[in-house]
Structure 1
Amino acid sequence: MTHVFPVRVYYEDTDLAGIVYYANYLRFIERARTEWARAAGIDQGRLREEQGLVFAVRRVEADYLSPARFDDLLEVRTEVEEASGARMVLAQEVRRGEERVFAARVTLVALGADGRPRRIPSRLREAGG
């Protein structure tokens, strides 16, 4: 399944040329991952407080395909590509309608309070949206 998260481009998201500043795509996909986890029934704040479990980005592969501009209505699509005990890879893309403007492959790891790998909750490993 695919989780879809809408994003409106605001003036603060753009650079002098009026296009989305490249680093802001990482903010967009981060927000989408948070909402994807929430949709899967995972409260990350409670997970941290009760189990000492947090998620960290280990790797991001990003492709900037077409510029998005002020006031564009975008959507971030998130899918689980692969998942194992403490690691998962997500495919994320930002679209304007049917046009892909950005694509990323994000590797997440679950860590305990001691910084060591921990098992990802099964609800999240199995979630697609």
Structure 2
Amino acid sequence: MPHRFSVRVYYEDTDLAGIVYYANYLKFIERARSEWVREIGVDQVALKAEHGIVFAVRRVEADYLASAKFDDMLDVVTEVQVISAARITLTQDVTRGDAVLFKSLITLVCIGADGRPQRLPADIRQLMQR
């Protein structure tokens, strides 16, 4: 089941042409991922404190298909594609109504304080696979 996160485009999100600055789509999808993780019941602060694990973006593939403008109401649609022991692959699309404006494929990795890959605890992996 995809996760939906709504975001309104503010003036600060736009560039001189009055459209959403390209890098702000990455901020929108980051917020959506944070809300998705929170809503499925994963406390990232506790994950770090108890297991020493944090999520890091390993790879982003992004396609900019159409422009969003000031005051648009957008949705970020997040769907899990693959979860392995230490890696999570998601698609995240930004839409305005039925129009897809931005498509991305995100690879997250679980890492420890030393920056090395760490296994995602099985209970958290199960929450993410629902």
TM-score (norm 1): 0.94
Counterpart code for 1:61: E
> In 2, are the aligned partners of 1:77 and 1:94 still within 8 Å (CA)?
yes
* d(CA) in 1 for partners of 2:29, 2:43: 18
Q: String of CA shifts for 1:7-36, please: whole Å, max 9, x gaps.
A: 000000000000000000000000000011
Counterpart code for 1:58: R
Match of 2:110 in 1: 110
Q: String of CA shifts for 1:55-98, please: whole Å, max 9, x gaps.
A: 00000000000000000000000000111100010000000011
Unaligned runs of 5+ residues in structure 1 are: none
Shift of 1:50: 2.0
SS at match of 2:37: helix
Match of 1:45 in 2: 45
Match of 2:68 in 1: 68
Shift of 1:128: 5.7
> In 2, are the aligned partners of 1:88 and 1:125 still within 8 Å (CA)?
no
Counterpart code for 1:99: A
Aligned-residue Cα RMSD (Å) equals 1.3
* d(CA) in 2 for partners of 1:74, 1:128: 25
Work out the number of aligned pairs and report it.
Answer: 129
Q: String of CA shifts for 1:32-63, please: whole Å, max 9, x gaps.
A: 00011011111111211222110000000000
Percent sequence identity over aligned pairs: 62
Counterpart code for 2:46: R
Match of 1:90 in 2: 90
Q: 1:124 to 1:90 in 2, by over 3 A?
A: farther
Match of 1:18 in 2: 18
SS at match of 1:85: coil
TM-score (norm 2): 0.94
* d(CA) in 2 for partners of 1:110, 1:86: 5
Shift of 1:123: 4.7
Unaligned runs of 5+ residues in structure 2 are: none
